[in-house]
């Protein structure tokens, strides 16, 4: 028997205090008790996003907030730029098409990061673009881009910058207001240490000016309804109130620890994993690796589909494989949330053992030792 350990980029492990909140009796949501919870959670999310803007809590997975961003910001026939460097970038593009936008796909090689120059050029080539949609971290490839530089470039135009921060916020340094990001979306089951089911979105004054001028082709994710309700610390529809209570526990923990510490520890776990990969001969997929998710090429001669399967079934260690054309070619490890140094060592040890089972020549302990060297530093 093995303990089940989660290292896939969502869902991530949930802290005990949060699990206990989820076990408590159901309560009613149109109450002062709930309103107080939503007020505190909103404040915690403002801290985590580093924004003074309101943060709206939507019931749904992260994609619900992505849909809200597209539906509220881009009217039918208007031009939007979707950066496609992986599975989640494709989702921006698909959402744009679903709402009848004129979608300009800005394709980058999977594993490469989009640059501010590329965005500036695309904006120049497509005058009238109302919004640019990016991922802070493209989870399918473990690639992070320079959001701050991109925001600076977009700010020089009338377009809004929308950042999918679902594997960025709470894991990688991020400051919505200071950087000038117009819309940030987050989901609960990654760096926020929660089950899936809550999505968050915040909008700048520039984004609100655009959204206030139109009526979105949406009902459930009409952000004006959320704004109106939040004035009374309420949600427009029945909220997942038990998840909101759980979210308080996890976000209180992030606040208590401090964002800078959370970012630094996430980074250290990524560095330890990358150090282990180096000595084990597993190459990074990304030319701009994210500290929230590491994507590694499966070594030559090893069955790429069998590797994550063996780690999960033989050793209780759940990582993720590749998606689309990277299926069977890469493996991915999350470094987000409720993980510690010993979890990282367990993941590396399980990787070594699974590689051994699948016939690779493994110098047992070499990856673990490389990770320990990083994790032991003060
Ligand atoms: C997980 C994730 C999402 C959201 O997917 P859901 O399945 O709707 O939660 C979106 N973008 C990125 C970058 C993600 O990692």
Residue corresponding to tokens 């510490």: 261
From residue 169, how far is each of 184, 187, 190, 315 by CA, in Å? 9, 9, 9, 30
Domains of the chain plus CATH, in order, are 5-10+259-375 (3.90.1150.10), 16-256 (3.40.640.10)
The percent of residues above 70 in pLDDT, for the chain, comes to 100
Query: Which atom from ligand 1 is nearest to the alpha carbon of 60?
Result: 8
Distance 287 CA to ligand 1 centre (A): 21
SS3 letters for 227-274? HHHHCCCCCCCCCCHHHHHHHHHHHHHHHHHCHHHHHHHHHHHHHHHH
| pTM of this structure | 0.98
Residue nearest to atom 6 of ligand 1 (CA): 62
Per DSSP, the three-state class of 54 is: coil
Q: What residues line ligand 1, using a CB cutoff of 6 Å?
A: 9-10, 61-63, 88, 135, 139, 164, 166-167, 187, 190, 196
pLDDT tens, residue by residue, 21-38: 999 999 999 999 999 999
pLDDT tens, residue by residue, 318-349: 999 999 999 999 999 999 999 999 999 999 99
- Residue 258 pLDDT: 98
Asked if residue 378 has pLDDT above 90, the reply is no
Query: Which atom from ligand 1 is nearest to the alpha carbon of 293?
Result: 15
């Amino acid at each position: 028997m093995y303990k089940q350990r989660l290292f896939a980029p969502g869902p991530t492990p949930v802290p005990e205090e949060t699990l206990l909140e989820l076990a408590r009796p159901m309560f009613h949501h149109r109450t002062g008790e709930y309103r107080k919870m939503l007020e505190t959670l909103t404040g915690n999310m403002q801290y985590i996003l580093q924004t003074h803007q309101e943060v709206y809590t939507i019931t749904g997975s992260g994609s619900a907030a992505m849909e809200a961003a597209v539906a509220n910001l881009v009217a039918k026939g208007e031009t939007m730029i979707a950066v496609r460097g992986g599975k989640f970038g494709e989702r921006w593009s698909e959402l744009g098409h679903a709402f009848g936008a004129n979608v300009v796909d800005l394709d980058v090689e999977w594993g490469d990061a989009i640059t501010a120059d590329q965005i500036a050029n695309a904006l120049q080539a497509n005058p009238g673009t109302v919004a640019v949609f990016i991922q802070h971290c493209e989870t399918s490839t473990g690639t992070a881009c320079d959001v701050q530089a991109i925001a600076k470039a977009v700010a020089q135009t009338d377009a809004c910058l929308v950042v999918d921060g679902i594997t960025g916020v709470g894991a990688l340094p991020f400051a919505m207001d200071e950087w000038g990001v117009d819309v940030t979306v987050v989901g609960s089951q990654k760096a926020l240490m929660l089950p899936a089911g809550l999505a968050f979105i915040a909008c700048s004054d520039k984004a609100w000016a655009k959204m206030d001028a139109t009526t979105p082709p949406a009902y459930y994710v009409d952000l004006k309804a959320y704004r109106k309700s939040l004035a009374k610390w309420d949600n427009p529809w029945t909220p997942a109130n038990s998840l909101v209570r759980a979210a308080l526990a996890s976000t209180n923990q992030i606040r208590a620890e401090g964002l800078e510490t959370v970012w630094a520890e996430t980074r250290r776990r990524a560095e330890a994993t990358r150090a282990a990969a180096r000595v084990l001969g597993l190459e990074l997929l990304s030319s701009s690796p994210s500290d929230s998710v590491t994507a590694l090429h499966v070594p030559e001669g090893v069955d790429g589909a069998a590797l994550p399967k063996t780690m999960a079934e033989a050793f209780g260690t759940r990582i993720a494989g590749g998606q689309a054309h990277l299926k069977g070619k890469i493996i991915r490890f999350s470094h987000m949330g409720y993980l510690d140094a010993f979890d990282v060592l367990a993941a590396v040890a399980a990787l070594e053992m699974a590689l051994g089972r699948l016939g690779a020549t493994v110098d047992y302990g070499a990856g673990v030792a490389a990770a320990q060297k990083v994790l032991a530093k003060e």
